[in-house]
Chain A
């Protein structure tokens, strides 16, 4: 999961470097969504323990 996240980010950097601004922004939005998806279990698992 985390490796996929960084591969996506590398794609974003390459797209931006080669002038594809909009594509880079869309891909970054997707990678940020993936990062949030990775982060959510870190909160919910702790909440589940406390509940």
Chain B
């Protein structure tokens, strides 16, 4: 198999991964803004994990395919998985309503756990293809305008989450169970 073909396929998978992560973050943000569901501290940590996954994919596009970038993806996905599983465990007791509205029968944190496991397995498979690391020409992704747009999008997601965190928690600890529909503590004034 030609190396250039392998690199193109890997870059395509990185772009698809980024699209998936951005869709997930946009969905979480829409739940927050439209349905007024304030994110809990564990939800904010899961969002951080997904942003880390997106960063890893984006580093692959910006600087070329490297194991350290895949390691960023994998560590972030593992962290997200742990946090999501912790939240699932909190609400697994029969009779517990869970946090927030379900989507297609599962709560967002359950989807978060499933997605993080899919990312973990997928990125491990992507990382395992040796041909992409051969020292012939490990050039970054050609369409630099696309990486620029993706970096801007990632930055916007980080800023939106930072605003949410600051409104909800300030610089202190976040409330354990923010009241859905209630006014944010810092920014309501």
* Chain A residues within CB distance 8 Å of chain B: 1-7, 9-10, 12-14, 16-17, 21, 24-25, 28, 31-32, 35-36, 38-39, 42-43, 46
**Number of A-B residue pairs having CB atoms within 8 Å of each other in the complex:** 84
Judged by a CB distance under 8 angstroms, whether B133 is at the interface is no
Judged by a CB distance under 8 angstroms, whether B115 is at the interface is no
**Is the CB–CB distance between A14 and B75 below 8 Å?**
no
Least distance between A47 CB and chain B CB atoms (Å): 11
A5 to B52, CA, bound (A): 12
Given contacts A1-B173, A35-B49, 15 further A-B contacts (CB under 8 A): A1-B171, A2-B44, A2-B174, A3-B162, A7-B162, A9-B51, A10-B162, A21-B62, A32-B75, A32-B76, A38-B41, A38-B45, A39-B82, A42-B42, A46-B90
Stretch of B21-29, B105-113, B124-132, B151-159 on the interface side: B151-159
Contact pick for A24, options B59, B83, B174, CB 8 Å: B59
29 A-B contacts (beta carbon < 8 Å): A1-B169, A1-B173, A1-B174, A2-B165, A2-B173, A5-B48, A6-B165, A7-B162, A9-B48, A9-B51, A9-B55, A9-B158, A12-B55, A13-B55, A13-B158, A16-B55, A16-B59, A16-B151, A17-B155, A21-B59, A25-B72, A28-B55, A28-B72, A35-B48, A38-B41, A39-B42, A39-B83, A42-B41, A42-B42
